A and B are shown apart, each in its own frame.
Chain A
Amino acid sequence: MLEFDDIQHILLTRVPALTGRYEFLSFADAAGARAWLAAMTERVPSVADLQESVDTDKHWVSVAFTWNGLRALGVPAEELASFPEEFRQGMATRAEILGDTGANHPDRWVDGTAGDDLHAIVILFARSAADRDQRVAEHNELLATCPGVTVLSSLDLEALPPFGYAHDHFGYRDRLSQPVIEDSGEEPTPGSGAPLKAGEFILGYDDEKGPPTNLPRPELLSRNGTFMAYRRLREHVGKFRDFLAEHGDTVEEQELVAAKLMGRWRSGAPLVLAPEADDPELGADMSRNNDFDYKQMDPHGYAVPLGSHIRRMNPRDTGVNMKRHRMIRRGATYGPHLPEGVPDDGADRGIAAFILCASLVRQFEFAQNVWVNDTTFHELGNERDPIIGNQDGTLEYKIPKRPIRKTIKGMPAFTTVAGGAYFFLPGLRALRYLTTLPDSEAAA
């Protein structure tokens, strides 16, 4: 059984938040950092806590650490060495593997997350801006009492209007396809496949290949934890809308182009099930909007282009070993809403998300490397993911169509990576363990 009382809530549950804030912290003093963590540990709800109080709570906190952060807290060298190499190196060091080159290079990240002095993140989700501001003020008061703990940068999160459903700045409905963890109590929606073994997402449990192996030591530290890849993706809304206008004469044509890039209409309706016209009712119906495959229902991509975002991020029955590459996504939008028809004001807006998985290299890096940025994905030859792939203007996008496919040359980049990091999200017992590390073991 899953230890709901020890797993941080963010791993298993999505809270009903409309705002939030990420605070990226640096530790210059191990004792100060542990004092901060001791206070924070009392504020981090477990899955069990959340199940009891989610309807009444107004804010929810999670805490995670980089490898440098664990070192700064004083985790002994032998335990630090037991973490996987990709986590020890960090996301910025692995930029080449992830396709974070050119405009996406860590040198251009805006939030300080590429540096070795990033040690921890506080993830705060709240029902309202007032709830958020109150918690931020309380956190600032705490920081003032913890020597050497400083805020490197922060990011405020805001849901976008209309608030009735989650969607990004481009207008695409979000949170439609997520893997379900076995024994979590959650039921997969039709078409989502069977629940996956907990060990694919939570350390210490059997995964799809059997009992867990090579976990970070000690078990107290790793059990009920997981790894998180943080990605801050700036969305260039003006450029996106200009692109749609360039490739569609009417609103209907533009909506079809947008749908072909994603593989779903912006309403969430999947093109496999609604290939000709949008069906918002289908898009909002969780019992139907994920119930499709590709090999049987759309083998040639006449509905969903082979290189579209959803086909790359979850190739379903056209992928190999799919159970070993799934990920849980949490996050939110940031920056001001840009209403339709309003010229782009150049404001920084986008998505700041976490990809949670037991293996950063087998799950997150695989997806970036093999699905998002591989130009030969599905024999396409000269394409990357049209939404989040690294685009430099030299690549194309092919939309299968009878009798002749449409090829769009010189694809622009609609998103730019503006920050990122690898974090370890410990269980609650592990958080308490980290607060008890002796001073003598603390690394500088």
Chain B
Amino acid sequence: MAIPETGYFEYEQGRYGPIYPRTPANYGFSIIAKVKPGHEAAIREHGQVIQAALEQDPTVLAPLRLHYLRWVLFDIGDGLTFQYQGIFDTDFDKYLDDALDLFLSTGITTAFVNLVGFPDDWRTNRAAAIEFFRKHQFPSFLEYGEYPYVTADEVKKALRLKAAFSNMLDEMQ
């Protein structure tokens, strides 16, 4: 699906700004922002934080209804840039609501506070945090889904069905 530069086909007001459309790959974003000088190590440490949180509680990210998240650091010559790309099943505004609540309740916070422009008072100023995400979201101009519009829950349900059928066939031997 080819997507206009605006990120939407027709302006439709969401709770915090324009609603981005569901694409064949479902909802998602690409947050790109500059890293504060000297903060690369702190951002890389974030990888350990997330991994540890998931090892402790594999469901910690479940509220976000994710397909996947991808964190990237790269330098194109004028300083380090951070990219945070995700595919999920809720709309953009609900994702931001859920993510902020998750960050606040789990302490998974460090990546964004190392980015230029992320509000210092993000814990108490939800509007400013959401404005940061919207300002640094770069819409795709093209998205493709090999299994279009299928949610993560449907994928998981299909795998459970496959396992159940497999088990049933075993029992029939």
Contact = CB atoms under 8 A, between A and B. Distances in A.
Interface in B39-58: none
A214 B124 contact: yes
B97 A379 contact: no
Contact of B16 (A324, A361, A376): A361
A366 B97 contact: yes
A379 B127 contact: no
Contacts, number: 48
B12 A379 contact: no
A97 B98 contact: no
Given A94-B13, A96-B12, A97-B15, A213 B124 contact: yes
A214 B125 contact: yes
A403 to B, nearest CB: 16
A365 B153 contact: no
Contacts of B63: 320-321
Given A214-B124, A214-B127, A321-B97, A379 B154 contact: yes
Given A214-B127, A379-B154, A324 B101 contact: yes
B14 interface: yes
A247 interface: no
Contacts of B101: 320-321, 324
A370 B94 contact: yes
Q: Which of B13, B91, B125: most chain A CB closer than 10 A?
A: B13
Contacts of A369: 14-15, 93-94
Interface in B44-81: 63
Contacts of A84: 127
Interface in B16-55: 16
B140 interface: no
A111 B116 CA distance: 48
A94 B12 CA distance: 11
B159 interface: no
Interface residues of B, number: 24
B10 to A, nearest CB: 11
A209 interface: yes
Contacts of A376: 89, 151
A189 to B, nearest CB: 26
Contacts of B91: 370, 374
Interface string B123-161: 111110000000000000000000000010110000000
A86 B126 CA distance: 14
A209 B101 CA distance: 9
B43 to A, nearest CB: 25
Nearest to B12: A96
A409 interface: no
B1 interface: no
B164 interface: no
Interface in A290-347: 320-321, 324
A321 B127 contact: no
A96 B13 contact: yes
Interface in B88-125: 89-91, 93-94, 97-98, 101, 104, 121, 123-125
A320 to B, nearest CB: 4
Nearest to A85: B127
Max chain B Cβ within 10 angstroms of own Cβ: one of A97, A320, A376: A320
A362 B13 contact: no
Nearest to A96: B13
Contacts of B14: 97, 369
Interface string B2-16: 000000000011111
Nearest to B89: A376
Contacts of A209: 104, 123
B66 to A, nearest CB: 13
A361 B15 contact: yes
Given A211-B124, A369-B15, A369-B94, 18 more contacts: A86-B15, A97-B13, A209-B104, A210-B124, A213-B125, A214-B127, A320-B63, A320-B101, A321-B101, A324-B101, A361-B15, A362-B126, A366-B15, A369-B14, A370-B90, A374-B91, A376-B89, A379-B154
24 contacts: A84-B127, A85-B127, A86-B15, A94-B13, A96-B13, A97-B15, A209-B104, A211-B124, A213-B124, A213-B125, A320-B101, A321-B97, A321-B98, A321-B101, A361-B16, A362-B97, A369-B93, A369-B94, A370-B90, A370-B91, A370-B94, A374-B91, A376-B151, A379-B151
Q: 3 closest pairs, A vs B, by CB?
A: A213-B124, A320-B63, A321-B101
